[in-house]
Amino acid sequence: MRTLFTFVFVALLGGFVLVSLTLLPIGKIGEMIRSSVQDVALAAEARIVTSPFVYKFTIPGTLAEAGTMGESSSPYWWLNSGGLLFFANNVAKSVQGELWSQNPWRTLYNQANPVDTDNGYHPQNLLRLVTRSTWNNMRQEAYYRIVQDNMSASPNRNQSNGILLMSRYQADGQTLYYTGIRVDGSAVIKKKLNGTYYTLALKPFYSSPIPGTWYDPVKNPNYIPKSIWIGLRSEVKNNPDGSVDIKLYVDNGRTGNWQLAAQATDNGTTYGKTLTTGYAGIRTDFMDVELDGYRVETL
């Protein structure tokens, strides 16, 4: 069987340090990572957290993607997708720019998903960061700063991509609520139920940066401002009748002024059953980003 080297990381007081190299068989990314964690027993137990849970990314280090939540080296986070997440200068950073051609993560993603990651050079195109704590009625917020767009030729790079918060995320990743801003400037609330997406709300928020033009994946690929901090806040709360209210707020420029951008009610019938307690987290698509100011609390 062919083999390759990949890095393995261990949690240290909320940060991460490189500790070893492990020889892994070529195959699915999740299977490779599971093997690496089992071989060196670096998986961290999930830490019990209380409300509010605030994470400021203050301890420098690197979090590696893991095949399952139980194999994550962080007691607080599971990097489900994206290859690597770097903690430095009090922020978290996705991979920035292209990986070196011989980087193990480029090799892994080139094998597993070359289309969406540009032959593995941009695993950050599919960034999914999930809490290891579960929440039901909750308020969640995080700040995002877009460094650059990755102009992938993938057919999955389109107007529905964006910066997003995830809530009531179920362990298989096929059921959850999304709230955020799409690259076409729309504020969106979505529900994913057993792998099927339903749009609960879609409202204009950012205007085109090129006046008089519409979204175009090449000529006008992202209405969301770059190089400034943009806060997303979601509120998800059950109603007495069993429905679920979902709200999205945006703090443009980190001013502390939270603007209601979209709201919706999941009635539990139009798009299937309402979602119950699950994990929370962050998603970004086809861009290099920095993250800061993560907070989640019970409502």
pTM for the predicted model, two decimal places: 0.87
Tell me the per-residue pLDDT of 188-221, one tens digit each, with 9 for 90 and over: 999 999 999 999 999 999 999 999 999 999 999 9
Residue 32: its H or E element: helix 29-40
Exposure of 6 in the CB half-sphere (CA atoms within 13 A): 30
What is the reported pLDDT for 157? Answer: 98
| Distance of alpha carbon 112 from alpha carbon 115, whole angstroms | 9
pLDDT higher than 80, residue 5: no
What is the reported pLDDT for 32? Answer: 52
Nearest to 144 by CA among 52, 232, 235: 232
Average pLDDT over residues 94-103: 96
Instruction: Look up tokens 């987290």; give the residue.
Output: 281
Q: What is the DSSP letter of 100?
A: P
**For residue 115, what pLDDT band results from cuts at 50, 70 and 90?**
very high
Query: Helix, strand, or coil here: 241?
Result: coil
pLDDT higher than 60, residue 10: no
Tell me the per-residue pLDDT of 235-269, one tens digit each, with 9 for 90 and over: 999 999 999 999 999 999 999 999 999 999 999 99
What is the reported pLDDT for 9? Answer: 33
Is the torsion defined by CA of 26, 28, 29, 34 positive or negative? Answer: negative
Average pLDDT over residues 35-53: 73
Share of the chain above pLDDT 90, in %: 85
pLDDT, the chain, mean? 88
**For residue 49, what pLDDT band results from cuts at 50, 70 and 90?**
very high
Tell me the per-residue pLDDT of 123-153, one tens digit each, with 9 for 90 and over: 999 999 999 999 999 999 999 999 999 999 9
Indicate the CATH number of 3-298 among 3.30.465.10, 1.20.1250.20, 2.60.120.560, 3.30.379.10.
2.60.120.560
pLDDT higher than 90, residue 274: yes
Strand segments, DSSP code E, in 65-175 are: 77-81, 84-88, 91-94, 126-135, 138-149, 162-169
pLDDT higher than 90, residue 7: no
* Contact call for residues 130 and 65 (beta carbons, < 8 A): no
What is the reported pLDDT for 227? Answer: 96
Longest CA pairwise span in the chain (Å): 57
Question: Where in the chain are the domains?
Answer: 3-298
pLDDT higher than 60, residue 16: no
